[in-house]
A and B are shown apart, each in its own frame.
Chain A
Amino acid sequence: MNSPNLLAFVMRRPAALAGIVLLALQIAAIIFAPLLATHSPVEADPINSLQPPSLAHWFGTDVSGMDIYSRILFATRVNLLISISAVAIAFAIGVPIGLLIGYYRGTVSSLVMRVFDFIQSFPVFVLGMALVSVMGQEIWNVAIVLAVLFIPMFARLIRAEVLSLRERPFISAARCSGATDRSIMFRHILPNALTPAIVQISISIGMAILLTAGLSFIGAGVRMPTPEWGLMVSIGAQQMILGVWWVSLFPGLAIVISVLCFALLGDAAKDLSDPTTRGRQ
């Protein structure tokens, strides 16, 4: 699709436009955090703990006296890094698996599908807590735990596409002209099967951000005092009932804005990929 059409596509959709703007904001937060922040994100200042929003601290301070606004900015790096890596790993592993089990049906494929059922039936947060306590609270461990959860989803998406594609006439034609299994899979099926998975990437990043925040909230995410939105909400959780609202409100808003951004982009990508909706208003 050439650029003028893409621009026209976006301009016709305020939702997609909003998504792009929010993405730009996040990228700006990632790159320019040290310039935009007013304080260090990890320096504790106990005397100034739990200050409400003011000119000195735009979003107030948390229990340790750390500035919430600065921490939210720096947390963009952490949250997005974890989520994007998790989805990237899951995509890189899930797509080939989906391709293989979709193409070669049989007992191995059914077994793999059962394993996926199995992974998806475990209680997410409790298992996440247990795994992270085994592996340690490092950023890449959290990403790995999330990736394991997302692999079945990508694999199933690709498998569903492959199952319907392999019966198509153009595949039989390729086979008749002597193409090997490998070349059929990678040159003919894969490019056509990828679309739904690619569209799903954006939504998955949003889901990963929510899951990371949830894991950190329950104490199975990154370690203190790393700035991370879910961890910040958990620091303020105890204080909500006592009327201290700013510690949990602002990081929560950041989560909503970030996930919304990826959901909007995901919707736009879905519209883009489907020829029936591409031209629509």
Chain B
Amino acid sequence: MNLQSFWRALPRPLRIIAVRLPLIVPQMFGVMLVTFMLVRLLPGDPALLMLGNTATPETIAALRERLGLDKSIWEQFIAYVGNILHGDLGVSLFTSNPVTVDLMERAPATLELITYAMLLTVGVGVTLAVLSVVWRGGLIDAGTRMYGLAAGAIPDFWVGLLLIFFLFYIAGIVPAPFGRIDALVTAPPQITGFYTVDSLLAGDVSAFWSSAGRLLLPVLTLTIVNAGALMKMTKTAFSDIYRSDFVRYQRACGLSERTIIRGALRNSLSPVITLVGFLFGFLLGAAVLVETIFSWGGLGQYAVQAVINSDYPALQGFVLVAAAFILIVYLVVDILYELADPRIKV
């Protein structure tokens, strides 16, 4: 059996994945190289900063040697790549922890925030879109059009600050807006890393309410700003299908409205999947601002501190992991897109 017939005999999903997956390798290598170079270009000598008053040529040299900063750029890069292949992202200059440990400790915080934000964004966005198309010309339609326009113009950091002011300072209905859980409540034992899930699994009700309460404002902030874009996109895709001839035919055949809506949604899937994937990656970057405002203790805050402290290994580790995450998300989206649309040939 020759290569062509072997290829055609493979199931389609496998073919899609086989084509897309290998591309990740050169892209990741490129990410590693650029990250390394960029971070090395950053001005600032961490050894000098750390030594402060006790800096003498001797102590500086000793510290630079300990940090591995005395070798040539290429030697450092080769060592760096070698370490990455062993899963070693280096040791943070400022927390003295291996960067992988630092990132693993903080990743669940960011993921929990982004996941709930995504869920709420998709829920609100899709619902509003469907409602405004089905009840065209109504109040919801006008309202959502204004919201769609305004949401794209609102900076998320500003919304976060306003929510803090109105809901915490004025109304006092939300818990203090910093940290994932109240200082006096112990965090639940880590299973998934999501405080809300882990506290439910451990049966710790106070931890659950505390962490859920603190998720409220940051998740709201991200949702208010991003649901608008998702809603506009879904509206366009959905309304195209909903107003098409075949839906009119379905209605004429006597199908219930509910069934029609469900079917129309299914067909308007593709652009929405792409946008959701893109949004997930985008939120990782946008979470930086929200995490800073709410002292969330996630990856975003870690990265900002790394830039401020010129913590090379931490910064490299973060950028690498973030870029890898986003590349994987794009890959999954591309694959799902091709899977969903049988017209695309592989």
Known: A126-B318, A237-B161. A117 touches B285 (CB 8 A): no
Q: Is the CB of A134 within 8 A of B41?
A: yes
Q: How far is the CA of A260 from the CA of B155 in the complex (A)?
A: 11
Q: Is the CB of A125 within 8 A of B322?
A: no
Q: Is the CB of A122 within 8 A of B323?
A: yes
Q: How far is the CA of A234 from the CA of B161 in the complex (A)?
A: 10
Partner of B153 from the list A129, A134, A241, A263 (CB cut-off 8 Å) is A263
- Looking at chain A's contact residues, the main secondary structure is helix
Q: How far is the CA of A280 from the CA of B293 in the complex (A)?
A: 44
Interface: B31 (CB within 8 A): yes
Known: A117-B327, A121-B327, A260-B150. A126 touches B281 (CB 8 A): no
Interface: A217 (CB within 8 A): yes
Interface: A130 (CB within 8 A): yes
Q: How far is the CA of A23 from the CA of B153 in the complex (A)?
A: 15
| B154 contacts across to A, CB distance below 8 A | 256, 259
Q: Which of A124, A126, A129, A257 has the most CB of B within 10 A?
A: A126
Q: Is the CB of B27 within 8 A of A117?
A: yes
Q: For residue A247, which residue of chain B has the nearest CB? A: B161
Q: Is the CB of A121 within 8 A of B326?
A: yes
| A243 contacts across to B, CB distance below 8 A | 165, 169
| B39 contacts across to A, CB distance below 8 A | 130
**Total number of A residues with any Cβ neighbor in B under 8 Å:** 45
Interface: B319 (CB within 8 A): yes
Partner of B315 from the list A125, A130, A134, A206 (CB cut-off 8 Å) is A130
Partner of B165 from the list A129, A217, A245 (CB cut-off 8 Å) is A245
Interface: A144 (CB within 8 A): no
Q: Is the CB of B289 within 8 A of A218?
A: yes
Partner of B285 from the list A114, A124, A219 (CB cut-off 8 Å) is A124
| A4 contacts across to B, CB distance below 8 A | none
Chain B: minimal CB distance from A241 (Å): 6
- Looking at chain B's contact residues, the main secondary structure is helix
Q: Is the CB of B177 within 8 A of A241?
A: yes
Q: Is the CB of B158 within 8 A of A121?
A: no
Q: Is the CB of A240 within 8 A of B161?
A: yes
Q: Is the CB of A121 within 8 A of B281?
A: yes
Q: Is the CB of A121 within 8 A of B31?
A: yes
| A260 contacts across to B, CB distance below 8 A | 149-150, 153
Chain A: minimal CB distance from B229 (Å): 11
Partner of B150 from the list A252, A256, A258 (CB cut-off 8 Å) is A256
Interface: B292 (CB within 8 A): yes
Interface: B284 (CB within 8 A): yes
Contact bitstring B16-39, A, C-beta under 8 A = 1, else 0 = 000000010011001100100011
Q: Which of A240, A242, A263 has the most CB of B within 10 A?
A: A240
Partner of B155 from the list A15, A121, A133, A210 (CB cut-off 8 Å) is A210
Q: How far is the CA of A179 from the CA of B155 in the complex (A)?
A: 49
Known: A117-B27, A121-B326, A125-B285. A248 touches B158 (CB 8 A): yes
Interface: A249 (CB within 8 A): yes
Q: How far is the CA of A260 from the CA of B149 in the complex (A)?
A: 7
Partner of B307 from the list A133, A210, A233, A258 (CB cut-off 8 Å) is A133
Q: Is the CB of A263 within 8 A of B152?
A: yes
Q: For residue B307, which residue of chain A has the nearest CB? A: A129
Interface: A189 (CB within 8 A): no
Q: Which of B150, B286, B288, B327 has the most CB of A within 10 A?
A: B288
Interface: B254 (CB within 8 A): no
| B326 contacts across to A, CB distance below 8 A | 121-123
| B168 contacts across to A, CB distance below 8 A | 241
B326-345 contacts to A (CB < 8 Å) = 326-327, 330
Contact bitstring A97-127, B, C-beta under 8 A = 1, else 0 = 0000000000000000010011001111111
Q: For residue B304, which residue of chain A has the nearest CB? A: A218
Q: Is the CB of A130 within 8 A of B289?
A: no
Known: A117-B330, A126-B304. A217 touches B164 (CB 8 A): no
Q: How far is the CA of A48 from the CA of B38 in the complex (A)?
A: 43
Chain B: minimal CB distance from A29 (Å): 17
Interface: A214 (CB within 8 A): yes
Partner of A123 from the list B42, B156, B161, B322 (CB cut-off 8 Å) is B322
Jot down 14 A-B pairs with beta carbons below 8 A, ordered by A: A15-B149, A125-B285, A126-B304, A126-B322, A127-B319, A134-B38, A218-B289, A218-B292, A230-B155, A233-B155, A241-B164, A256-B150, A256-B154, A259-B152
> Which B residues are within 8 Å of any A CB, using their own CB?
23, 26-27, 30-31, 34, 38-39, 41-44, 149-150, 152-158, 161-162, 164-165, 168-169, 177, 281, 284-286, 288-289, 292-293, 300, 303-304, 307-308, 315, 318-319, 322-323, 326-327, 330
A sample of 7 more A-B contacts (CB under 8 A), given A123-B288, A130-B315, is: A121-B330, A125-B288, A125-B304, A126-B318, A206-B152, A256-B150, A258-B153
The 5 A-B pairs at the shortest CB distance, nearest first, are namely: A252-B158, A259-B153, A121-B326, A260-B153, A123-B322
